[in-house]
Amino acid sequence: MLTQLFEWTKDFDSAYTFLKERKILAEKMVCSVCQQEMSLIKNRDTKVFRCKAHKNQKASIKKGSFLQDSKITLQEFIRIAYVWSRQITGVVASDMCDVSWKTICSWYQYLRDATSHHMLMNPYQIGGPGHVVQIDESLICKRKYNRGRVPEQRWVFGGWDTEDKIGFLVFVSDRSSDTLIPLIKKYIKPGTTIHSVSGVHTNNVECFWKNAKRKFKTMMGVHSSTVESHLDEFLWREVYGKSGKDAFDNVLLHISQWYIV
């Protein structure tokens, strides 16, 4: 796929064509004055839409898109989406994309926001008649910032469908029945056989937790306002991004569904 990445990003026109085909950028734009379709003209190292009749009416090719108001080039966006899809760390990604570490951090968060939005707009349930869902709870701690300071503790509740090999995770404020039962109803289909950790063999859900905790370790020290989006990204990858190619294709697809240009 690296060969394809090179082809997609070798120049502006290649990147522009790729993003139009993926519906990240609009195929056309209409003039706000006469409502006629605008022409695409070259403007330095990029292109802009301009009305033939009202030449002072121009529009960015990024207008109304996920990339609106962004300063990165089209080629840089494709490269960043590519390295994010493969979960390449920030420092390495910065070198590969030839952009600053700060830019990588910002765009990794924007891509996580896209996964959060998709998960919010497309909730899913696991289980169903004939299925077994194993449920469990786990305590997640953030890094100690100062010696002797007690780290923030957060409980996560989740379940794993042993048939379909898919799970869910959600942060909870407490582990009371008043909190957990509504979540069971929200995420698990009626007719499901539910096994808790008490007295039941739970290797499957424990493996799910192991993968989740590996993700949580990479979150140590992240700002509390972004923790939810990290969890959303983990769940999104469980469903849509098992491979780097799947993650790349689907994050672009879901961005195009979020920002309809």
Domain boundaries, the chain: 2-122, 132-221
Identify the burial level of 47 via C-beta atoms within 10 angstroms of its C-beta, where 0-12 means exposed, 13-18 middle and 19 or more buried: middle
Q: Measuring CA to CA, which residue among 188, 36, 41 is closest to residue 123? A: 188
pLDDT at residue 199, as a whole number: 47
CB 61 within 8 A of CB 16: yes
Mean pLDDT across the chain, nearest whole number?
Answer: 88
The reported pTM is 0.86
pLDDT at residue 46, as a whole number: 84
Tens of pLDDT, residues 196-243: 875 455 566 777 777 777 776 666 556 666 778 888 999 999 899 999
Percent of the chain with pLDDT over 70: 88
- CA 232, 238, 244, 247 dihedral sign is negative
